[in-house]
Amino acid sequence: MLSNQELAKIAKRVRRNIIKMVTDAKSGHIGGAFSATEIAVSLYFNEMNITKDNLNDLSRDKFVLSKGHASALLFAVLCEKGFLPEEELLTFRKINSRLQGHPNMNYVQGVDMSTGSLGQGLSTAVGMALSYKIHNQDFRVYSVVGDGESEEGQIWEAAMAAAHFKLDNLCAVLDMNGLQIDGDVTVVMNPFPLDEKFKAFGWHVICVDGHDYDQLHKAYAEARTVKGKPTMIIAKTVKGKGVSFMENDYMWHGVAPSAEQAEAALKELED
């Protein structure tokens, strides 16, 4: 287990790389990448068993970024794990790159599912968890879902199936940052209360602060003890977390910063 301090250092490097990637590409999604940074870092470094040695195994712990537009986050974390060379990060969203705008599993080892079309990732995570049940394999499946994404009907089809098939090896984290492209989720199309909805769909629900490592780790540990049902960790987060002028501003959902803005952001993210 890495200490919270070590994780915080990794998260800072991840956020800095995301700023660099999106600025250089002049396109990408910072807000929703920053809201889920602690979630992804804690999963990859302290929760999931994913190493260079088992990276190419068909069966191992898996991660599905259902909110695939946070691709810069996934690539930056895979880079921290040593699965992607850092210099490649600046090819993000450019022609001939393996680092597509939304992740492609066939281009990058360590991307466990191609995602991007919202709602589809959670269904694929259900399929993975089901496979481990069928073949009696003791692996776990993690998926990060957006709160805006939960407006998609397919999320609820997947939620119904995960509970129906009693997939206690599936742990999803809902990145509840409260904002989507067009604004506040409660204004665009209110999906709340998400905790009550997932409970009603038969999930074990844990509510945490999505930027607090202690709460996240405790929730992952609790999820491992739950039998007969999947776990949904509802993680209250801040969109754009880590850079003062990006926080809680839906403008930063999918806009690249200017050179000056990037410089200011990187300064805030210095160690």
Point out which residues bind other proteins (CB under 8 A).
Answer: 58-59, 62, 64, 104-106, 112-114, 116-117, 119-132, 134-135, 153-154, 157-158, 160-161, 164-165
For other proteins, the closer of residues 40 and 161 by Cβ is: 161
Pick the closer one to other proteins by CB: 105 or 266.
105
User: Cβ(269)–Cβ(63) under 8 Å?
Assistant: no
- Compare residues 127 and 254 and give the one whose CB is closer to other proteins: 127
Q: Determine the length of the chain.
A: 271
Question: Which pairs count as long-range contacts for 132-135, CB under 8 Å and 24+ apart, including other chains?
Answer: 132/59, 132/169, 133/165, 133/166, 133/167, 133/169, 135/59
| Minimum CB–partner distance for residue 134 and other proteins (Å) | 6
46/165 with CB nearer other proteins = 165
* Distance of closest approach, residue 267 Cβ to other proteins, in angstroms: 38
Give the shortest CB-206-to-other proteins separation in angstroms.
23
Cβ pair 246, 252 in contact under 8 A: yes
Which position has the token pair 């909110």?
67
As measured in angstroms, the least distance from the Cβ of 129 to other proteins is 8
Least spacing, CB of residue 141 vs other proteins, in Å = 8
State in angstroms the smallest separation of the CB of 242 from other proteins: 30
Q: Which is nearer to other proteins, 127 or 183 (CB)?
A: 127
**Counts for the chain of helices (H) and strands (E), in that order:** 10, 7
Of 148 and 178, which has the nearer Cβ to other proteins? 148
Cα 24 versus chain centre, distance? 22
The values of phi and psi at residue 19, to 5°, are -60, -45
HSE-up of residue 169 (Cα within 13 Å, Cβ side): 22
Cβ(177)–Cβ(136) under 8 Å? no
Q: Which helix (H) or strand (E) holds 264?
A: helix 259-268
Find tokens 């599936």 and name the residue. 170
